[in-house]
Amino acid sequence: MTVASASSGSVRPIETRSVSEQVTNEIRRSILAGVLPPGQSLSLRKLAEQLDVSFIPVRDALRVLESEGLVVNPPGRSASVAPLDLKEFHAIYRVRRLLEPNLARHSVPRLADAELDRLYQAAAEFGGAERSMDDIYDDHRAFHLALLAPAASAWDIRILTMSERASERYVRIGFGLLDPDPSEHDRRREAHQLLVDEFRKRDPEGAARALDEHLAYNEELARTALSGGLAS
């Protein structure tokens, strides 16, 4: 797949402010959304032309994205979008299941009732039949972060953000494959509202257990959806 012309489904041109950061954000967006698919060769020249920038910010962006696990950039060879690998996917979830339930224990007593009400309503919107995983992903990521934010340090936020970015391609593709099933939208809504209900009980261990079960179930659901096309 080649980089297409600038449109909603392609790599988009970059404006003049904060060029290096914008280039990084745009290439990251294109990878996470599948516009640049796994294994796609990343030509500095083509990307620079498409983004209307010089080689330098593109090269810097690829280095950043390599550190995030989204790009493979071996010495002396062209960079490419990192392949999807179920072993990597399970490793990402192993980290999430170590960190997030522990944060949940400490977040439960600190979350205000009004915030839980807001998150319950946000979860309700995940069930819209017209909303795909791509449509809701930013809201979904914000939902999970908000549940844990009261107990999260700056380092926790960094790790949460990194693991979310690393798992985003897998989640979007895996759950995107389930979108055509109408029951998937109801399941998605109910699963996240159940999490909020568990946090409302103000039981740290119960909330931690519910979040761990939520992550484990989602990991297995995405694995099943993805396993047909990925290495085991």
Q: What is the pLDDT of residues 119-146, one digit of tens each?
A: 999 999 988 888 877 788 889 889 999 9
Task: State residue 6's pLDDT score.
Answer: 44
Q: Which of 121, 106, 223, 112 is nearest to 170 (CA)?
A: 223
Cα radius of gyration rounded to whole Å, the chain: 19
* pLDDT value at residue 120: 97
pLDDT score, position 5: 45
Q: Are 12 and 47 in contact (CB under 8 A)?
A: no
The predicted pLDDT at position 15 comes to 55
**β-bridge mates for residue 79, sequence order:** 42
pLDDT at 231 (0 to 100):
44
Query: In this predicted structure, what is the pLDDT of residue 130?
Result: 82
Most confident of 8-17, 33-42, 58-67, 203-212: 203-212
Distances in Å between the alpha carbon of 4 and those of 9, 50, 72, 123, 146?
8, 8, 21, 34, 36
Q: Are 97 and 212 in contact (CB under 8 A)?
A: yes
* % of the chain beyond a pLDDT of 90: 56
- DSSP three-state, residue 230: coil
Give me the pLDDT at residue 185, please. Answer: 87
How many Å apart are CA 168 and CA 171, to the nearest integer?
Answer: 5
Quick check: helix, strand or coil at residue 70?
A: coil
Q: In the predicted model, what is the mean pLDDT of residues 79-95?
A: 91
Q: Is the pLDDT of residue 157 over 90?
A: yes
Which pLDDT score, from 0 to 100, does residue 226 have? 79
Q: What is the 3-state secondary structure (H, E, C) of 98-165?
A: HHHHHHHHHHHHHCCHHHHHHHHHHHHHCCCCCCCHHHHHHHHHHHHHHHHHHHCCHHHHHHHHHHHH
Q: Name all domains of the chain by residue range, CATH numbers in brackets.
A: 19-81 (1.10.10.10), 86-226 (1.20.120.530)
Q: In what order do the strands lie in the sheet with 79-81?
A: 41-42, 79-81, 71-72
> What gap in Å lies between CA 142 and CA 192, rounded to an integer?
12
Assess whether pLDDT exceeds 60 at residue 10.
Answer: yes
Helix, strand, coil % over all residues of the chain, rounded to 5: 70, 5, 30
Q: What is the pLDDT of residue 228?
A: 66
Average pLDDT, the chain: 88
For residues 195-208, average pLDDT? 98
Helix (H, G, I), strand (E, B) or coil at 81: strand
Mean pLDDT along residues 184-210: 96
Model pLDDT for residues 162-179, shown as the tens digit of each residue: 888 788 888 877 888 888
The answer on pLDDT for 230 being more than 70 is no
Question: CA-CA distance, 63 to 124, in Å (whole number)?
Answer: 38
Whether 72 shows a pLDDT value over 60: the answer reads yes
What is the pLDDT at residue 1?
44
